[in-house]
A and B are shown apart, each in its own frame.
Chain A
């Protein structure tokens, strides 16, 4: 592979919101992440593609501070957030995640309490961040559910009673309730039928444009990545094999693995 080195940004003078350097993570003999580095600019959407086991979900869990890597650094360019986030203690990590990082999992069970009300699930986020007034909690939860296009007449229904698409909306509402700087999405539309998938994609795109949320989205669906992302990172065997503008990576893939991936697209 010919490695093309691009210049440093010349016109865009904002600093990346998220900077990750040389992250490594092993599970026993399995090297899940090898020297993964990435930078995401404010308002940008970074897509991550790769086959199952390529390390993309592990990487996302590291960004959500659920997973502490063996090596590497992670910083967010935000007021009052300093240093390597992997070094934070559990409490500081929890506060940072509650206030600045939202996540939507493929499996709603990971992100939601399935037997509590949907509005309660969203409000929990706000409680962790210190909000105590019942009315404020309820109003903010309602606003977030509304922004995620969740039908408000069902806001007190527990997720267990809702369809998959609705559960994703509750997760999204919970993720954006505190207007996080960073939204992480792990296969947010996988397993949904196409019409529901379109609804979720449209909601994400609209939120991204209206609120300029910085997003990192992991999906094996190249169509989803193409619709949402500005740039894409291709992972294989725990390594980044290629990254670039989404149209460039899909139209002119450089690495042999990316070529295979693009040729396999329907």
Chain B
């Protein structure tokens, strides 16, 4: 099955080797967050709020501490009070005061499931009983769940000190609107005046959870000298270290974080929830503490991404040139500011070359769990509105929806509404490939319809470290600082093998802990194969330079006589025939006598992550009796720059599409009148299962990113951007009704069909 294609002149890049960590993962030996244990370990658990919004009057932990086997209890009083301090990390803003209060509530609980206290006990059953014995008196407060209700004057206020940023003059009264953003290009009024057709609609989306199958889990141990170790699954061991240091007032040098295998994250594991509590409990009890969330806790207290209201207005000339694009985005942030409304605004129209754009965004707090990043944070929400509206515009104009996109496509030189001008991008290539794909002209059956939609994501670079070590037999080790969330060990090993000129099976990639590799920003933003890949390539190139020096030394020739080819030092053109090749294995064997071990490291801040674009085609069949929508065919075309390991690139595309289909059709947070989540489990929060989906045809388009040594762009996020609109557009094509509210679940579709019939 392993193909060794030699396209593009590469020997390893572009082939499909078996991933180096694969056998561990198919035999059950890979150790995830909850698989790690230490002798004498305690079980830690969290006491959570039953209220959506309440003032904490008193907390009495004495009855819990009195229980034999209970070794420690903590509340917010055990964490240092942190002043408000906003910084931009990961894919969104973060305020460490808020993060501290999200980990353990101080003064008020802001959502059902908000952590209030934590215990460590000698068994799970004792910990459960200890939670029962913690006495908390609450003063329940009015709560608000809906985003527009939270924005309304007189809404229950979550934070007395929250004043809307981004409005002039600065407001004198607090509100739930944390921030207003605007992005303006050209003159929207002039653009609307120039329009010969205008389409306007309001769309809504519901919060959806990242729903990684592995619940959050960690083990923490603190020694008497304050040295602390954490073993956990997260999207960044350095993120866990930095956040714990900040939240616990510890020195970074006193914390060592070892990454476990991570059982899915999708952005949801870019924050800490349990780790600071486990450290505080371990410190207080003097014993290692393990904490593992239940699925219910994962739903109630982590993630999700925002629900939102998206209002879109598009104007165009009769021949399909868009003259005006306007959007208002209102995103739920959950209990603390920090929804992904900013990237939502920035991504909204970025597929298109538009003269007049006006985007307004609102970041709104409400009594729901604090949102966390979810795959292309903010973009799928905005795109559901924009790409649905574009479909309506195409129908109004009587134009093919791909032709409309083609006519307005962003290209090299297009200025985006958020500022930058695109360099080499592959959007138009995805539209062209979609038009040419057999799927686009295939016949449809009864009750079936076809929809298309496009998507954009920035992708990020950032700080990454990597090391390449040559072993004594000429094999190599690659060390990186990024958890492997979906096959990045494979792509990093492949790029190192390509540079070293050896088979990828001779390269072992490992993910180092925070004390064994230089700082690396977390795994997110589709950055690892791009940015950490650049660090790996740089380190491997330094190894090759050193190998050539060693060869020159052994051969007693000038260093410029030596080139590197197929894993060996060979004569450069002008020295042909002057010496026989010296293999990496030979050079490695002689390393001790030529200057010592051969290794190199690179720590970089990678710039130039090429933006990613995708265009999807979706066929659905709508059951007119039940309103159930079945996806019968799906094709996802994406510019990936260069596919390092095509199978894992396809996997990212297929996985993103599946999540988008879940978001479109089924997934949502359902609250009762008291602000309690009614569906905190996989039975009622329904993610797509195998029988819900067809095969997903991932079509790879390669417009190489000039800033990456092999041309790679990030691939993991953009595939979740188009599906919701693609499905809504397909449903319209099938049954002639416009579904503007997610999820497009059977009751909603049936109601829309019934309304249309009447």
Q: Do A and B actually bind?
A: no
Chain B interface residues (CB < 8 Å from chain A) = none
